[in-house]
Amino acid sequence: MTQTISTSAPEKMTPGARRAVTASVLGTIIEWYDYALYGAVAGMIIGPLFFPSDASSAETFAALATFGVGFLARPLGGIVIGHLGDTRGRKTAMILTIVLMAGATVGMGLLPTAAQVGMLAPILLILLRFVQGFGAGAELSGAVTLVAEYVPVRRRGLFTGIVLAAPPAGISLATAAFFIVSGLSEEQLFGWGWRVPFLVSAVLFLVAFYIRRRLEETPEYVAAQELAEQKKRDTTMPLKYVLKNFPKQIVVGFLSIVGHNAMQYTLATFSIGFMLSIEGGLDRPQALLAVVIGSAVAVVTTPFGGMLADRIGASKVMAAASLMMVVLSWPIFLLLKTGEFGPSALAIALGYGLIITGTSGGQGALLANLFPAHVRLSGMSFVRELNGALIAGFSPMIVAMLISAAGGGLWLAVGYLMLCGLISAVAILLSGRMGDNENSALV
């Protein structure tokens, strides 16, 4: 299939493009703050309060499994909201995501615990995680799509890289919020303190809602809709069109982010409980601070990964970062297992700074370049969220179970992460630079 460059793609940054970047970055930070809150305390607080068990490992597995429920909902949300974004406009999709996510997050902060209402508590928690995951299904894809369609194609890596620096920023803020309340006494933290960061998202929602209400549709999307009408192209079922016409792009897109999702969610979610589980290791505030420091590295470095993607190609950047994951997975876990603050923070910083920098920095451009504008949001959302359901959502639980199966040994968990990185690297290298800017499928 011949891919053509759209004449509607801007050649320079416009005021509308700058507003789109600002709105996407700020909104995504706020939304990932919401989404990361659960992950930050899944094994530490959610387990004991909503899945009480005589075995702490059972509590952790149950809490991490519920974390995965949100990811199971994401493909469905990606399909539905991606469909709305391609048929009704990007703005509609991006407003819907924040309403669903913020409502679910505030709802979690108001939930009764298992000690208060028994089995109803975990049922309500799972329901809200599903709603939250549904809303997240097109959030980042929508933000990346918006920016990719506003900025010049030759600078797509840089500006989508800036957007993809927002999730680590949200993770840092969410973890920092729990770092602050972790100074409370055990009784205060488990009584009411854990609720505060969830409820704060109500205020943040108003900010995100205001920002996204002011968005305008991208020139490229408008041009694509007009072209579709001229060519009598059926745009009523964008995902069906993607599945029929872009199967290779779907496979490449899915496999290219296997390593990214496995590593990012292991660092952001599993690592906290792991650091706390080491006898004589870190206390709760130290573990949270290690994640704050480590993930903050990616906030600074990811845009540089995007700049490099514009210079040498998103495919090379993502492949190199995925191979780096194969090399660094073992050292990262060895550093985490020391039970010392400095090495633990360094481990997470290495993961974010040398792996996630490249996989995030190149990811926005690569995925956006795979699909034409009139079905881009559906294509990107389907790829990202299907991968999220199968890889991101359950990687923390898989890693925990593999360590348990190995009697506390690291080799199975490290092997899993190395395999994920290798899968991505091979898929990208065999794709023929399909996702680079010069090969962009825009119309």
CATH number at residue 153: 1.20.1250.20
Residue 139 lies in a domain: yes
Q: What confidence tens digit (pLDDT) does each residue in 123-167 have?
A: 898 889 899 889 888 888 889 998 988 888 888 999 999 999 998
What phi and psi values does residue 273 have, to the nearest 5 degrees?
-60, -35
What phi and psi values does residue 2 have, to the nearest 5 degrees?
-75, 135
Q: What confidence tens digit (pLDDT) does each residue in 17-34 have?
A: 888 888 888 878 887 887
Residue 357 lies in a domain: yes
Among 119-128, 308-317, 371-380, 385-394, top mean pLDDT goes to 308-317
Residue 174 lies in a domain: yes
Residue 7 lies in a domain: no
Predicted TM-score (pTM) of the model is 0.83
Residue 208 lies in a domain: yes
Q: What confidence tens digit (pLDDT) does each residue in 72-109 have?
A: 888 899 999 999 998 888 888 988 998 898 899 899 99
CB 309 within 8 A of CB 401: no
Q: What confidence tens digit (pLDDT) does each residue in 226-251 have?
A: 776 656 555 678 899 999 999 999 99
Q: Which helix (H) or strand (E) holds 268?
A: none
Q: Which residue has the higher pLDDT, 350 or 385?
A: 350
| Strand, helix or coil for residue 204 | helix
Residue 147 lies in a domain: yes
Q: Give residue 348's domain range.
A: 15-439
Please choose, from the candidates 84, 108, 94, the residue with its C-alpha nearest in 3D space to the C-alpha of residue 34.
108
The residue type found at 196 is V
Residue 6 lies in a domain: no
Residue 409 lies in a domain: yes
Q: Where are the beta strands (DSSP E) in 19-150?
A: none
Tally of domains in the chain: 1
Q: What's the angle, vertex CA 144, arms to CA 141 and CA 147, rounded to 5?
A: 145
Q: What confidence tens digit (pLDDT) does each residue in 391-434 have?
A: 987 898 899 999 999 998 999 999 999 999 999 999 999 998 88
